[in-house]
A = this chain, B = another copy of it.
């Protein structure tokens, strides 16, 4: 709870119920969550618009980052403290069993050498497979 305040304060975001509860939902989730799930977890007590706007505020402050799955579905996850305000280039893993999406901080991927002429700035690596729980 104290951490929630700290996060908001550190990013110059005012303390509103929606923001505080959304951060709690994101903290408690052990997977990246969709807007729809956030809304449900909050008991549908906030308007969709508000949630989208809050997600935008959080994203622009690097409090969260988003992961777009192959079908276009977007999930949101808290950005690990150490990665805020710097690059948050880490792998994402989508489990086809439980449908959860995990941030995988290690290993760090090095940018592959592209054909000449291409200048790489950034990358997204999304791996699909089975997670620890679903893999047996």
Q: Which residues of B contact A122 (CB under 8 A)?
A: 127-129
A128 touches B121 (CB 8 A): yes
Asked if A3 is an interface residue, CB under 8 A from chain B, the answer is: no
* Known contacts A123-B125, A125-B123, A128-B122; A112 and B117 CB within 8 A of each other: no
Number of copies: 2
Task: Determine if B118 and A93 form an interchain contact, defined as CB atoms under 8 angstroms apart.
Answer: yes
**How many interface residues does A have (CB within 8 Å)?**
37
Q: In the bound complex, how far is the Cα of B111 from the Cα of A131, in angstroms?
A: 15
Note all chain B residues with C-beta closer than 8 A to A106: 115
Known: A70-B124, A114-B127, A117-B132. 7 other contacts (CB 8 A): A66-B70, A91-B114, A116-B132, A118-B127, A118-B131, A118-B132, A119-B129
